[in-house]
Amino acid sequence: MPEVLFRVDLNKPMEEQDTPGHNRWHPDIPATVSVNPGAVFRIECKDWTDGQIANNDDPSDIRDVNLNRVHVLSGPIWVNGAQPGDLLVVDILDIGALPQAEWGFNGIFAKENGGSFLVDHYSQAAKSIWDFQGIYTTSRHLPGVRFAGILHPGLIGTAPSHQLLDKWNRRERDLVATNPGRVPPLANLPTPHSAVLGSLKGAEFDRVAVEAARTVPPREHGGNCDIKNLSKGTRIYFPVYVEGAKLSMGDLHFSQGDGEITFCGGIEMAGWIDLHVDVIKGGMAKYNIVNNPVFKPGPVEPHYSEYLVFEGISVHETTGQQLYMDAHVAYRNACLNAIEYLKKAMGFTGEQAYMLLGTAPVEGRIAGIVDIPNACCTLSIPTSIFDRDILPK
């Protein structure tokens, strides 16, 4: 087993760990450990909510979750020799659940506390618990379903520079200003409430807490991309913006459907991840990888060959308004069409079907983006995850 460079105690909040991690992005958050290029090591991670969700049938913890606490991340990890303009090469060698926590959770967030992709249709909190059996998972809350997971970090990225951090905060403030009273908000702006900033204390903590960016969205450095294919064997090329790169990660998922549409997204879990790191000097300019990471997927993922595919087009689902090439609306319609079908085929409630689409290894696609005025998106559900034939007869 690789050396464990970051350990977690599941009974302690992140700021009380022997080595505390962080839940904001800022270049001045101190690194917890340093490694040389070529190093192989293990990092342990708490679940993204810092242990707020219990293994029970009561969704009130999903409803009342403190979203200022998320995401708790392990790191930052300083990579010796990494300089701005380099590429940090990260290989995901292996990933798994912690032995004392072989279960995970999914949830639909309430509209007034986070919301979700289909918030206008499912505005109340709901929860499903998933038990792990090797590579497979089942849930007492979604009977008749069993599938293999594709384990991955929902969130992994390097630290921003001060210049990049200022750009993030400026553009997100401008967005919120267009509709400041919106519920849920258009973006989550910096707040010192529930901030965890590693070993920072006193005046430095206070300064960073009001500047640091929330971890909720993906940005140029990677971050909360929620790409299910970042699994075992994946190699990721991250832009480096600060000395040492300051790599951090968390939000581990046992499985996830494309889009992570419930927001409390895939099957969230506490776990460990084995990594190998290296550096390509001057790699950002050499390969013109400057705006976002690039990755090569690994060879390990569930092999499903038969799917039932649902289409959606860019016509608003309630008003009937024709929209121009709107992939967001088209994918929303594909999801809604799948949910309505599963309510009949499996006897699910809408909430159960919605959580299935957030957890199972469904495939989301932009099928057509040129045929005006309708974009076409698809959602493909592997049929063998069900204990019965769900095809129309």
User: What is the Cα–Cα distance from 11 to 21, expressed in whole angstroms?
Assistant: 15
Q: List, in sequence order, every residue forming a beta bridge with 223; answer none if it has no partner.
A: 156, 218
3-state SS, residue 54: coil
DSSP state of 31: P
CA 329-169-291 angle, 5° bins:
70
- Evaluate the CA torsion angle 296, 245, 272, 149 in order and state its sign: negative
User: What is the Cα–Cα distance from 377 to 393, expressed in whole angstroms?
Assistant: 25
pLDDT for the residue numbered 150: 96
The answer to whether the CB of 30 falls within 8 A of the CB of 198 is: yes
Q: Is the peptide bond before 293 cis (omega within 30 degrees of 0)?
A: no
259 burial level (CB within 10 Å; 0-12, 13-18, 19+): buried
Residue-wise DSSP of 143-182:
TTB-EE---EEEEEEPPPPHHHHHHHHHHHHHHHHTSTT-
The answer to whether the CB of 150 falls within 8 A of the CB of 228 is: yes
The answer to whether the CB of 230 falls within 8 A of the CB of 104 is: no
Q: How far is CA 257 from the centre of its chain?
A: 11
pLDDT for the residue numbered 67: 97
Widest distance between CA atoms in the chain: 67
pLDDT for the residue numbered 265: 85
Q: What is the pLDDT of residues 95-128, one digit of tens each?
A: 999 998 999 999 999 999 999 999 999 999 999 9
Structure tokens at 253: 């998922």
361 burial level (CB within 10 Å; 0-12, 13-18, 19+): buried
pLDDT for the residue numbered 352: 98
Q: At what angle do helices 350-359 and 327-345 cross, to 10 degrees?
A: 120
The answer to whether the CB of 137 falls within 8 A of the CB of 131 is: yes
Collect all residues with Cβ–Cβ distance below 8 Å to 46 and sequence separation of at least 6. 8, 10, 14, 72, 74, 250, 270
The answer to whether the CB of 31 falls within 8 A of the CB of 24 is: no
Q: With a cut of 70, which residues of the chain have pLDDT below it?
A: none
Q: How far are the Cα atoms of 76, 159, 170, 364 from residue 211, in angstroms, in the given order?
A: 17, 14, 11, 35
Q: Is the peptide bond before 71 cis (omega within 30 degrees of 0)?
A: yes
Q: Report residue 351: phi and psi, to 5°.
A: -65, -40
